[in-house]
Chains A and B, each alone.
Chain A
Amino acid sequence: MLAYTLRRLIAFVPTLLAASALVFLFIHLIPGDPASILLGDTATPEEIAALNQQLGFNEPIYVQYFLWLGNVLQGDFGTSVFFRQPVLSVIADGAETSIWLATMTMCWIVVIGIPIGILSATRQGTWIDQVTSGFAMLFASIPTFWLGLYLILIFAVGLGWFPTSGFPSLSDDGGLWNLRYLLLPSLTLAAPNAALIVRLVRASMLDVQREDHVRTARAKGLSPSRVAIRHVFRNALIAVAAAFGFTFAALVSEAVVTETVFSLPGIGRLVVQSILRRDYPVIQGVILIIVVLYMVINLLVDLSYARLDPRVSLK
């Protein structure tokens, strides 16, 4: 497994180079530039060109790319054109929100999605199955912005239990208590994903239930709950684990709408704002880090297969 992991890590290098080159090229192909956004509507083309020159954005794209790459290899991701802060510092600030949001969301998905999925599968065809499947379909279909706004209206404006928006850092006044700011956003983000996990757990368990070893376990007189958890659910976990991996990675991009509705200072909103403002250093830095995140999560998912299923060997 160690050799496999090392090989996969080495394979990251060409993937990252290709991804960084593509991102750099595509961003610079979009019309617009940071200087024109910075200087506003009254700036003349000459003034915009002069500032772009000063900021180094008038160099040929390949020159800009190799300069940027050289700096990145030394750990310098550049400075945000708008925030005047190192890109890594800007990303780190957004990452705190995104990591906590994703973690809380995953907790909701596990706590809600798996038990209901198991319940639905073990009560197949009953009214419980119909109700849980119906709700799963409903929450999978509700747009997150709509759900978010209604959660705000009910629990923040109406009942006043939670803040409407924002997320102070855990290092600010309030400490861990600040996590209450993420309760409604994480529920909003979890709802469609938990619904999908419910459906996935149900479908996987129903598949496994038809297999011979389950019939054998039942014939041996094991209790229904023992059969469901030890023999059915465990074997259904491989598909669920893969889905969890991709869900966690996808949360970064899916969170854009939720972060906008709840005004959270996360990575998703940062990358969208940076694209609209053509803050090239931030866009390049964020996307590179998201690519790394996806690759690491994929690797972890592959490694988890071997752990969950002894028949799988990683070579």
Chain B
Amino acid sequence: MKINKVWKSTLAMGFALTLSGAAFAEGTFRYATVGEPPSLDQHVITSDLATTIAHHMFEGLYTFNASNAPVPLLAAGDSLEDGGKTIKIDLRKDVKFHNGQAMTSADVVASLNRWGEFGSRGGLLFSNVESLTASGDHQITIKLKAPFGPWKNLMAFINGGPAIYPASVMNGATKEPLDPKEYIGTGPYQFGEWLPNRHVELVRNDAYTSAAGAADGYGGERKAEFDALRFIPVSDVGTRVSGIRAGDYDYAESIPGDLFADLDGDANVTTILNGGPIFGLAFMNSKHGPLKENFKLRRAIQTAINKTPALQVAIGPEKLWAANGSFLPKGNVWHTEAGTANFSKGDAEAAKALAKEAGYAGDPIKVMVSTNYPFHYDTAIVYTKQLAQAGFNIDLQVYDWATLIKKRAQPDQWDIFFTHHGFVPDPILISVMNDNYPGWWATPEKAALKAKFTASADPEERKKIWSDIQALIYEQVPTMKTGDVYTYNIASPKVKGLGSSTLIWPAFWNVSK
């Protein structure tokens, strides 16, 4: 009798606890991530996972609408003076930080100064900034050395971008990422907790004041529907998929292509394509080795490769890739076919002839690739075979990603290395445009075109110059684009408001379940 009572009480308690757990989960959006971000500090971190989490907390002066055009977010408006050399930005007056403090120009100036000095992408703009001042409580003035066309795109790109923090947080901040207790932003969600290996949790910012207007891309109204967003590291893809099917997660990222057909046809799962494709790049060494200044030999390598078989092997379903030579995808304002005739010739005989003309005598070409990204490795395997058929002696060196990053900084260690690039809204942000990025492409022809590209504020002129730069990339081959890859995520069908594709990173304001 006594045992029976204990047993019944235990069952009742278990049932009650199950119910209370279920009630809690209603207000919590559970996102299964591939891992943990290195940090959430947007100024210095360019990890896409970090931005996926952080852009719910941190906001910049501008963001992108659904057409990838910059629109005000914390800014109220702007005006250009002095032929584009002076930028005046008015700030919204209704913005409050998560600590309750009102945002003023002092916070914006402190944030932009730290981003300009230490930020991952800040140097691009700030190398051209003469002064940055608060010209009112809610107005800042940026004086440029020369007109700089992409300023607003750079301000709108939050990944490695100019998130606005309180001035008190920016005091003394350097290249070292901020401590989580300093994660104070203005977004619809605020930092909750980061439990190592368990989750990063953001909680709703009840005092949030949204930008005006209807939601449009990342612009317009932002409404936090959930009590909390929980980002849970689930490194095994099988577990991420099972978790969605079992209802343990609401959203899961980075699902491999070979599961696409199965999941796309499953009524219990929603597939969401990432609208901004990532693209693989094979960088060539401009500082050392047989490829240094030997553009003909680089073109021979480019000519030998047919990109399509590698995309088929590495990615799988045709819906998830495009053998597109343009650095920005079709439909984007920066899309251009300039130079792309050389994108994927796959002509071994022509490559052999070009290599001979370039003086290639069969010396080993050191190619570095990492197994951390299976699609890099699969691509490298296919390319190695094609290059061998064209007479190239490829020394394929396989490392973990941390080792590859270390080695690629040493010019004598490699000739080609594989990486990939996230979608960017302005070509100035593509790594090959950075003279200091490993590969170190800094020819006079590039310098001249880059100077014209950044000086112009005329969209049509900038498009024309970008076409010339892309053509130059196919001529001097500092890097080879491997093709566009449309990664995809999956969600529970209960989640409403996600749309069929993301703009760049998934966003969970205006989303409910």
Chains A and B bind each other: yes
Binding site for B on A (CB under 8 A): 30-33, 36-48, 50-51, 54-55, 80, 82-85, 90, 93-94, 149, 152-153, 156-157, 160, 163-166, 168-169, 173-175, 177, 260-263, 265-266, 269-270, 273, 276-278
Within 8 A of A (CB), among B370-427: 372, 399-403, 405-407, 409, 419, 421
Apart from A41-B46, A45-B409, 14 more pairs, CB < 8 Å = A33-B402, A36-B405, A37-B402, A40-B160, A44-B434, A46-B436, A50-B175, A51-B175, A163-B246, A163-B248, A165-B234, A261-B238, A261-B239, A263-B32
Measured between beta carbons, the chain B residues less than 8 angstroms from A50 are 175
Measured between beta carbons, the chain B residues less than 8 angstroms from A47 are 175
A157–B399 Cα distance when bound, in Å, is: 36
How many A-B residue contacts, CB cutoff 8 Å? 163
Tell me the nearest residue of chain A to B232, going by C-beta. Answer: A166
CB-CB under 8 A for A164 and B242, given A41-B431, A85-B196, A260-B235: yes
Measured between beta carbons, the chain B residues less than 8 angstroms from A55 are 176
A133–B35 Cα distance when bound, in Å, is: 40
CB-CB under 8 A for A38 and B197, given A32-B400, A51-B175, A51-B176: no
A30–B35 Cα distance when bound, in Å, is: 22
Tell me the nearest residue of chain A to B198, going by C-beta. Answer: A265
Q: In the complex, are the beta carbons of A263 and B235 less than 8 A apart?
A: yes
Binding site for A on B (CB under 8 A): 13-14, 17-18, 20-21, 24, 32, 35-36, 38-39, 44-47, 120-121, 160, 174-177, 179-180, 194-198, 232-236, 238-239, 242-243, 245-248, 372, 399-403, 405-407, 409, 419, 421, 431, 434, 436-438
Most chain-A CB neighbours within 10 Å: which of B32, B120, B180? B120
From A44, A85, A276, contact of B400 by CB (8 A)? A276
A303–B453 Cα distance when bound, in Å, is: 76
Tell me the nearest residue of chain A to B408, going by C-beta. Answer: A45
Q: In the complex, are the beta carbons of B38 and A277 less than 8 A apart?
A: yes
Q: In the complex, are the beta carbons of B239 and A164 less than 8 A apart?
A: yes
Tell me the nearest residue of chain A to B44, going by C-beta. Answer: A39
A-B contact pairs, 11 of them (CB 8 A): A31-B403, A33-B402, A36-B406, A36-B409, A44-B434, A94-B197, A157-B245, A160-B246, A165-B239, A173-B24, A263-B239
CB-CB under 8 A for A93 and B198, given A32-B403, A273-B35: yes
Q: In the complex, are the beta carbons of A38 and B177 less than 8 A apart?
A: yes
Q: In the complex, are the beta carbons of B232 and A263 less than 8 A apart?
A: yes
Q: In the complex, are the beta carbons of A263 and B242 less than 8 A apart?
A: no
Most chain-B CB neighbours within 10 Å: which of A45, A262, A270? A45
Tell me the nearest residue of chain A to B177, going by C-beta. Answer: A38
Across the A-B interface, the 9 shortest Cβ-Cβ residue pairs: A32-B402, A265-B197, A45-B409, A31-B403, A40-B46, A44-B436, A31-B406, A263-B234, A36-B405
A155–B404 Cα distance when bound, in Å, is: 41
From B21, B234, B402, contact of A277 by CB (8 A)? B402
Q: In the complex, are the beta carbons of B175 and A54 less than 8 A apart?
A: yes
A44–B409 Cα distance when bound, in Å, is: 8
CB-CB under 8 A for A173 and B21, given A47-B175, A263-B236, A277-B402: yes
Tell me the nearest residue of chain A to B38, going by C-beta. Answer: A38
A214–B38 Cα distance when bound, in Å, is: 63
Measured between beta carbons, the chain A residues less than 8 angstroms from B236 are 260-261, 263
A157–B246 Cα distance when bound, in Å, is: 5
A169–B24 Cα distance when bound, in Å, is: 16
From A39, A51, A262, contact of B239 by CB (8 A)? A262
A278–B372 Cα distance when bound, in Å, is: 14
Measured between beta carbons, the chain B residues less than 8 angstroms from A165 are 234, 239, 242-243, 248
From B13, B235, B437, contact of A42 by CB (8 A)? B437
- Interchain nearest-CB distance for B196 vs A (Å): 5
Tell me the nearest residue of chain B to A165, going by C-beta. Answer: B239
A169–B193 Cα distance when bound, in Å, is: 14
Q: In the complex, are the beta carbons of B44 and A173 less than 8 A apart?
A: no
Tell me the nearest residue of chain B to A272, going by C-beta. Answer: B235
From A80, A153, A156, A157, contact of B196 by CB (8 A)? A80
From B176, B233, B239, B402, contact of A31 by CB (8 A)? B402
- Interchain nearest-CB distance for B199 vs A (Å): 8
A85–B38 Cα distance when bound, in Å, is: 13
Measured between beta carbons, the chain A residues less than 8 angstroms from B372 are 276
CB-CB under 8 A for A38 and B45, given A54-B175, A80-B196, A277-B402: yes
Q: In the complex, are the beta carbons of A42 and B197 less than 8 A apart?
A: no
Q: In the complex, are the beta carbons of A39 and B120 less than 8 A apart?
A: yes
Measured between beta carbons, the chain A residues less than 8 angstroms from B176 are 51, 54-55
From B44, B194, B195, B437, contact of A265 by CB (8 A)? B195
- Interchain nearest-CB distance for A100 vs B (Å): 14
- Interchain nearest-CB distance for B18 vs A (Å): 7
Q: In the complex, are the beta carbons of A42 and B242 less than 8 A apart?
A: no
A258–B363 Cα distance when bound, in Å, is: 45
From B121, B196, B243, contact of A94 by CB (8 A)? B196
Measured between beta carbons, the chain A residues less than 8 angstroms from B46 are 39-43
From A30, A82, A157, contact of B242 by CB (8 A)? A157
- Interchain nearest-CB distance for B11 vs A (Å): 11
A45–B434 Cα distance when bound, in Å, is: 13
- Interchain nearest-CB distance for A279 vs B (Å): 10
CB-CB under 8 A for A156 and B38, given A46-B436, A166-B248: no
From B47, B233, B247, contact of A40 by CB (8 A)? B47
- Interchain nearest-CB distance for B197 vs A (Å): 4
Tell me the nearest residue of chain B to A264, going by C-beta. Answer: B197
Most chain-A CB neighbours within 10 Å: which of B21, B44, B196, B409? B196
Measured between beta carbons, the chain B residues less than 8 angstroms from A51 are 175-176
Measured between beta carbons, the chain B residues less than 8 angstroms from A278 are 402
A169–B20 Cα distance when bound, in Å, is: 16
- Interchain nearest-CB distance for A92 vs B (Å): 10
Measured between beta carbons, the chain A residues less than 8 angstroms from B248 are 156, 163-166
A86–B103 Cα distance when bound, in Å, is: 32
Q: In the complex, are the beta carbons of A269 and B400 less than 8 A apart?
A: no
A41–B233 Cα distance when bound, in Å, is: 21
Measured between beta carbons, the chain B residues less than 8 angstroms from A80 are 196
Measured between beta carbons, the chain A residues less than 8 angstroms from B47 are 40
Q: In the complex, are the beta carbons of A40 and B45 less than 8 A apart?
A: yes
Tell me the nearest residue of chain A to B235, going by C-beta. Answer: A260
CB-CB under 8 A for A177 and B17, given A40-B120, A152-B242, A164-B243: yes
Tell me the nearest residue of chain A to B248, going by C-beta. Answer: A164
A90–B438 Cα distance when bound, in Å, is: 34
A254–B346 Cα distance when bound, in Å, is: 46
Tell me the nearest residue of chain A to B17, going by C-beta. Answer: A177
- Interchain nearest-CB distance for B116 vs A (Å): 14
A269–B498 Cα distance when bound, in Å, is: 32
A153–B245 Cα distance when bound, in Å, is: 10
Tell me the nearest residue of chain B to A41, going by C-beta. Answer: B419
Measured between beta carbons, the chain A residues less than 8 angstroms from B24 are 173
From A32, A40, A45, A263, contact of B38 by CB (8 A)? A40
A276–B419 Cα distance when bound, in Å, is: 17
Measured between beta carbons, the chain B residues less than 8 angstroms from A152 are 238-239, 242, 246
CB-CB under 8 A for A173 and B20, given A42-B160, A273-B35: yes
A40–B239 Cα distance when bound, in Å, is: 27
A175–B434 Cα distance when bound, in Å, is: 52
A30–B405 Cα distance when bound, in Å, is: 12
Measured between beta carbons, the chain B residues less than 8 angstroms from A38 are 38-39, 45, 177
Most chain-A CB neighbours within 10 Å: which of B194, B198, B437? B198
- Interchain nearest-CB distance for B117 vs A (Å): 11
Most chain-A CB neighbours within 10 Å: which of B20, B21, B32? B21
